Structure 1
């Protein structure tokens, strides 16, 4: 475990040595802050009408799910820019050979790099969560639903990171190919559920494979074992594939 955390700490620090992470964080906060304020303004506009009706959505329903949903879409596009360099860049710079020759297992390397990136992703989730929490100064929130959305976004970005790490392993010495493949694959999984909706058909297989479906289920506040299990299986599968890819690298040396 000590070696895993050492690799994770090294990877986490290296992310912030590059201007890319700082630039993405700044852009992400500006865009999400604008979307957040837009949703708050929408609630303020609708509040007089909502007050006269029963069973209407409250502040949490109008502000929180759209904010976290938008964050999920933006992070789908941003995460591959961070994951593409994890292994592919090391191959390109000829430093992966040194790492593979060190007295650490491939599993430790994969978990270390994954946890290092996940540290940055958790910071992003925390910053997104702070936005609706700021509304507690002048209103009330359903903290349970807010926590469910934070958990949903955490599982979603964890899945993005695991997929991106594998694509970085599989792309050889080409980080740009890793980023493109990650975006393409994640978009496919994101849009699968839309196909059935547009065609007015319900496909059980499509619904289960769709990232969007499980993410939205968790956003409602109903924490189902199927949805959580899907993300955990997704993450474990891509981490295992990453380890196998590094095993092949060592065999070819």
Structure 2
């Protein structure tokens, strides 16, 4: 089972990285994040007192870069997940895929692991920026590691939700728009969490961004880890159920 899943993952990763879209997304994320990184350094040089609310240079820089990354992920992840199953259905290859002697769980996990390889590339690009400051200042590696972990977990959650949406339609564009709408709705839960509205505490616990902000600030809480793992697992399970219905 593991070998088959890894084989599907390898094929999906190759398909992603032979696509111009993947390299365009990586390039755009690197360019925008690099611009934010440089602007933060320049603002710190112009106003050293900006560090008053932070523990150090690395915290100030990583907080800014990782915080802005949430917006980038919200925009680009639906583009990367829209093709996972919607394009297979549109081209008719979904029939061959579902008729293969592999389980639906292997198919879903394989495609998700292939996507994870791309997500690791995104994380690496963003991690290298604050990590480059190690040559000129003392980094808080624990806080940096917590932020990187939070970024990866949030990407996995975004990817699982987008993968599930991709199983619902045969049009990649519709999958992208719907996936963006779903992630945006979950994003807005964080806004409601800090308003004087009923169930504000529930919204706080359900907020994707709220759990990420804790890790980004260096607050390592197993509840945040468990939330992302449960969220990711739930949407992967839902994708398996959706494909099982189509397969039967």
Which of 190, 203, 208 is matched with 2:205 structurally? 208
How far off is 1:219 after superposition? 1.3
Count of matched residue positions in the alignment of Structure 1 and Structure 2: 247
Alignment of 1:224-243 (within 5 A): 224-243=221-240
Contact in 1 for aligned 2:193/2:201 (Cα 8 Å)? no
Taking the TM superposition and a 5 Å limit, the aligned residue runs for 1:26-105 are: 26-47=27-48, 49=49, 57-105=55-103
The counterpart of 1:128, out of the listed 126, 129, 132, is 126
1-structure distance, mates of 2:72, 2:228: 19
Moved over 2 A (4+): 195-202
What corresponds to 1:246 in structure 2? 243
Find the aligned partners of 1:104 and 1:205 in 2 and give their Cα distance: 39
In the aligned structure 1, how far is the partner of 2:166 from the partner of 2:105? 15
Tell me by how many angstroms 1:131 deviates: 0.7
Q: Which moved more, 1:89-98 or 1:218-227?
A: 218-227
TM-score, normalised on structure 1?
Answer: 0.93
What is the aligned counterpart of 2:214 among 213, 217, 233? Answer: 217
Q: Please show how residues 5-16 of structure 1 align to structure 2 within 5 Å.
A: 5-16=6-17
In the TM superposition, what are the counterparts of 1:104-143 in structure 2 within 5 Å?
Answer: 104-143=102-141
Give the Å deviation of 1:165.
0.3
How large is the Cα RMSD of the aligned pairs? Answer: 1.7
In structure 2, do the counterparts of structure 1 residues 200 and 108 end up closer, same or farther at CA, with 3 Å as the change threshold? Answer: closer
Superposition TM-score, scaled by structure 2 size: 0.95
Work out the CA distance in 2 between the residues paired with 1:56 and 1:146.
Answer: 13
Equivalents in 2 of 1:100, 1:238: separation in Å? Answer: 19
> In structure 2, how many angstroms separate the alpha carbons of the residues matched to 1:239 and 1:109?
11
Give the Cα–Cα distance (whole angstroms) in 2 for the partners of residues 66 and 131 of structure 1. Answer: 11
Q: Which whole-Å CA distance do the structure 1 matches of 2:157 and 2:46 have between them?
A: 36
Distance in 2 of aligned mates of 1:236 and 1:202 = 24
SS in 1 for 2:167: helix
Q: 2:50 and 2:243 mapped to 1: Cα distance?
A: 56
Contact 2:58 2:140 in 1 (8 A): yes
Structure 1 stretches of 5 or more lacking a match?
none
Residues 71-93 of structure 1: CA deviation (Å, up to 9, x unaligned): 12101110110100000100000
For residue 181 of structure 2, what is the aligned residue in structure 1? Answer: 184
CA distance in 1, matches of 2:85, 2:54: 49
Q: In structure 2, what is the Cα distance between the partners aligned to 1:21 and 1:176?
A: 16
